[in-house]
């Protein structure tokens, strides 16, 4: 059996490679070099990167088998998550792996900037004993403004507390009470910029944050301000920062990240007031070990078709053990639903009833949608793109949960309304100690059949002799019936035959059966992949 291929496009810790183990074919490439990356993507199942590999729409299109992109770190600005989602590719990161390292690097740059450590060090190594030139400032009593009080911003705040600073922050998405608990006062961006002696940036790079600290803002800061950026290059405009330092409107800067990386020739490097490092925030043994092992675990889960807690483009929360067996059931019900409906519903309810409804069952809705669209679109349907497919087709999807399930311990129903107002539904359960998948309801008719690979549902007017005709016609075409059930609403009313057969029923045979028994509808379902 061929092993799934994992392409490691940047340095990954030994511990991460060890977690991948022998179950995968691990290949290496230089992700920063497009001429190497694009051809290397042709047959890979998973891609592992850090920040130097651009996983854009072109790269995703070059990887038709790709199932997961794993970012061994935090920032996802180098991954086109939207393009990945459209292609059904899961994107995962390691959101906490390097936050301590990034926070410590921030402290290092704040202190180095305050005390001119790097510049004095370089001068001394150059044989210059200069003391007054490198006189610095204390942190004690100063105001530190944190832009982005998220995971790293909060760790920085905690670590700065003992220095006797006043902490203020700009983060419109954080409740002020949460900030107050940490001893940080939330203010507007303008106020932070005007009051701070140190400004430290911990924002994600986005359309809103790119150039957030630009020429205008750098005209409003205190001239004694030092600006630290360990988040992403470009959030502080490098040209505007250069001019502000040159003109004495900013006292100094500590920079770990740059708008274009690698960056070795920034005009900022000419300024003695700037201390800079080559994107080293996450470059510690500890952070790399954590990032490597976390993404390797996520890749293993993703390639095993399991739910991945760190996936950023899959809706829903952690999946409880009790819920997991319901996923293949819901997916199967989704496929049966589409076969019964023969079209995409305008409104779709995924109902989860019974004991499992006490858990977060949003993933069951995803699994049902995955099944609903499995035989509708050419491209592969995954937990990632299934909700997107529903949205694109204007399907209004709702998850309905209830602890009340009178007949079965747990039951999942996919119920839909079609364009002409008709309703279609199919329910299933996992029965007995062996948790056997059973369909227990179709369009309101109760039954109990095990959905094998080939199924057929016939709705007709209840009368004698129909079972014989169906059996005879199938027999004539060499199709063996594995099981058959008949259900009806009232005697002489509408009836439904549910059949499982050993081979697919060709369309012309199904049509012949429908015509001979005068069926209202006849639907075949083929569940083999």
* Residues known to be catalytic: 232, 261, 279
Q: Which of 71, 142, 226, 279 binds ligand NAD (CB under 6 A)?
A: 279
Name which of ligand 3PG, ligand NAD, none residue 218 binds, using a CB cut-off of 5 to 8 Å depending on partner kind: none
Name which of ligand NAD, ligand 3PG, none residue 50 binds, using a CB cut-off of 5 to 8 Å depending on partner kind: ligand 3PG
Q: Which of 8, 90, 230, 369 binds ligand NAD (CB under 6 A)?
A: 230
Name which of ligand 3PG, ligand NAD, none residue 208 binds, using a CB cut-off of 5 to 8 Å depending on partner kind: ligand NAD
To ligand NAD, the closest distance from the beta carbon of 255 in angstroms equals 10
Nearer to ligand NAD, 255 or 357 (CB): 255
Does the footprint of ligand 3PG cover residue 51 (CB under 6 A)? yes
Contact 315, 366 (CB under 8 A): yes
- The pattern of x and - marking residues 155 through 174 that bind ligand NAD according to CB under 6 A reads ---------------xxxxx
Per CB under 6 A, contacts with ligand 3PG among 85-144 are: 98
CA distance 469 to 516: 8
Instruction: Name the strands in the sheet holding 90-93, side by side, starting at the edge strand that comes first in the sequence.
Output: 25-28, 5-8, 46-49, 68-71, 90-93
Contact 291, 72 (CB under 8 A): yes
CA distance 234 to 238: 7
Q: Which of 136, 204, 309, 471 binds ligand NAD (CB under 6 A)?
A: 204
Question: Which of the ranges 274-282, 297-305, 311-319, 412-420 carries the binding residues for ligand 3PG, by CB under 6 A?
Answer: 274-282
Nearer to ligand 3PG, 73 or 354 (CB): 73
Instruction: Name the strands in the sheet holding 410-417, side by side, starting at the edge strand that comes first in the sequence.
Output: 396-402, 347-354, 410-417, 423-431, 436-442, 445-449
Instruction: For residue 54, count CB atoms less than 10 angstroms from its CB and return exposed for 0-12, middle for 13-18, buried for 19 or more.
Output: middle
48: three-class secondary structure by DSSP: strand
What are the structure tokens assigned to 526, written together?
Answer: 């083929």
CB atoms within 10 A of CB 264: 8
Nearer to ligand NAD, 204 or 309 (CB): 204
Does the footprint of ligand NAD cover residue 282 (CB under 6 A)? yes
DSSP per residue, 206-225: STTTTTSB-HHHHTTS-TT-
Contact 224, 195 (CB under 8 A): no
Nearer to ligand NAD, 170 or 383 (CB): 170
To ligand 3PG, the closest distance from the beta carbon of 86 in angstroms equals 23
Nearest to 30 by CA among 53, 13, 14, 48: 53
What are the structure tokens assigned to 276, written together?
Answer: 């800079």
To ligand NAD, the closest distance from the beta carbon of 280 in angstroms equals 7
CB atoms within 10 A of CB 161: 12
Question: Which of the ranges 228-236, 293-301, 337-345, 351-359 carries the binding residues for ligand NAD, by CB under 6 A?
Answer: 228-236
Does the footprint of ligand 3PG cover residue 73 (CB under 6 A)? yes
Count the residues in the chain: 529
What are the structure tokens assigned to 474, written together?
Answer: 């199938």
Per CB under 6 A, contacts with ligand 3PG among 282-311 are: 282-283
What are the structure tokens assigned to 173, written together?
Answer: 């998405």
156: three-class secondary structure by DSSP: helix
Does the footprint of ligand NAD cover residue 260 (CB under 6 A)? no
To ligand 3PG, the closest distance from the beta carbon of 282 in angstroms equals 3
Question: Which of the ranges 73-81, 147-155, 242-250, 435-443 carries the binding residues for ligand 3PG, by CB under 6 A?
Answer: 73-81
In 3-state terms, the chain is what percent helix, strand and coil (to 5)?
35, 25, 40
Q: Which of 209, 298, 401, 413 binds ligand NAD (CB under 6 A)?
A: 209
What does the binding site for ligand 3PG look like in residue numbers (CB under 6 A)? 50-51, 73-75, 98, 279, 281-283
What does the binding site for ligand NAD look like in residue numbers (CB under 6 A)? 74-75, 98-99, 102, 148-153, 170-174, 202-205, 208-209, 230-232, 256-257, 279, 281-282
């Amino acid at each position: 059996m061929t092993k799934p291929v994992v392409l490691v496009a940047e340095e990954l810790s030994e511990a991460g490679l060890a977690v991948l183990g022998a179950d995968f074919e691990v290949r290496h490439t230089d992700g920063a070099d497009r001429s190497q990356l694009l051809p290397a993507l042709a047959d890979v199942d998973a891609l592992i990167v850090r920040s130097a590999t651009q996983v854009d729409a072109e790269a995703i299109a070059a990887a038709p088998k790709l199932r997961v992109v794993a970012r061994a770190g935090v920032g996802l600005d180098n991954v086109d998550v939207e393009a990945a989602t459209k292609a059904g590719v899961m994107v995962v990161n390691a959101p906490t792996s390097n936050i301590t390292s990034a926070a410590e690097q921030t402290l290092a740059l704040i202190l180095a900037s305050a005390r001119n450590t790097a510049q004095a060090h370089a001068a001394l190594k150059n044989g210059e004993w200069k003391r007054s030139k490198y006189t610095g400032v204390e942190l004690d009593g100063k105001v530190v403004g944190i832009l982005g009080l998220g995971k790293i911003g909060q760790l920085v705040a905690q670590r700065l507390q003992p220095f006797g600073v006043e902490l203020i922050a700009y983060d419109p998405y954080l409740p002020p009470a949460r900030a107050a608990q940490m001893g940080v006062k939330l203010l507007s961006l303008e106020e932070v910029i005007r009051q701070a002696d140190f400004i430290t940036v911990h924002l994600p790079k986005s359309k809103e944050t790119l150039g957030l600290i630009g020429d205008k803002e750098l005209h409003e800061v205190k001239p004694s301000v030092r600006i630290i950026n360990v988040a992403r290059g470009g959030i502080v405009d490098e040209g505007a920062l250069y001019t502000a330092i040159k003109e004495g409107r900013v006292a100094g800067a500590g920079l770990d990240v740059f708008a274009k990386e690698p960056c070795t020739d920034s005009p900022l490097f000419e300024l003695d007031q700037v201390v800079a490092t080559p994107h080293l925030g996450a470059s510690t043994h500890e952070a790399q070990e954590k990032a490597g092992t976390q993404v390797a675990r996520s890749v293993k889960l993703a390639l095993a078709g399991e739910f991945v807690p760190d996936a950023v483009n899959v809706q829903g929360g952690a999946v409880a053990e009790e819920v997991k067996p319901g996923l293949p059931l819901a997916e199967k019900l989704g496929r049966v639903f589409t076969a019964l409906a023969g079209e995409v519903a305008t409104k779709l309810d995924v109902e989860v009833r019974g004991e499992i409804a006490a858990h977060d069952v949003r993933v069951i809705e995803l699994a049902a949608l995955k099944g609903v669209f499995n035989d509708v679109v050419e491209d592969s349907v995954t937990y990632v793109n299934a909700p997107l497919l529903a949205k694109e087709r204007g399907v209004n999807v709702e998850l309905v949960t209830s602890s009340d399930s009178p007949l079965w311990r747990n039951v999942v129903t996919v119920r839909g309304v079609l364009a002409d107002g008709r309703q279609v539904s199919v329910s299933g359960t996992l029965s007995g100690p062996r948790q056997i998948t059973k369909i227990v309801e179709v369009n309101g008719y109760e039954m109990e059949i095990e959905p094998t690979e080939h199924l057929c549902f016939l709705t007709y007017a209840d009368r004698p002799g129909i079972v014989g005709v169906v059996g005879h016609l199938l027999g004539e075409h060499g199709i063996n019936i594995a099981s058959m059930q008949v259900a009806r609403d009232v005697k002489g009313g509408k009836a439904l035959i549910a059949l499982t057969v050993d081979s697919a029923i060709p369309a012309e045979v199904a049509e012949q059966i429908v015509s001979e028994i005068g069926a209202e509808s006849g639907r075949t379902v083929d569940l083999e992949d």
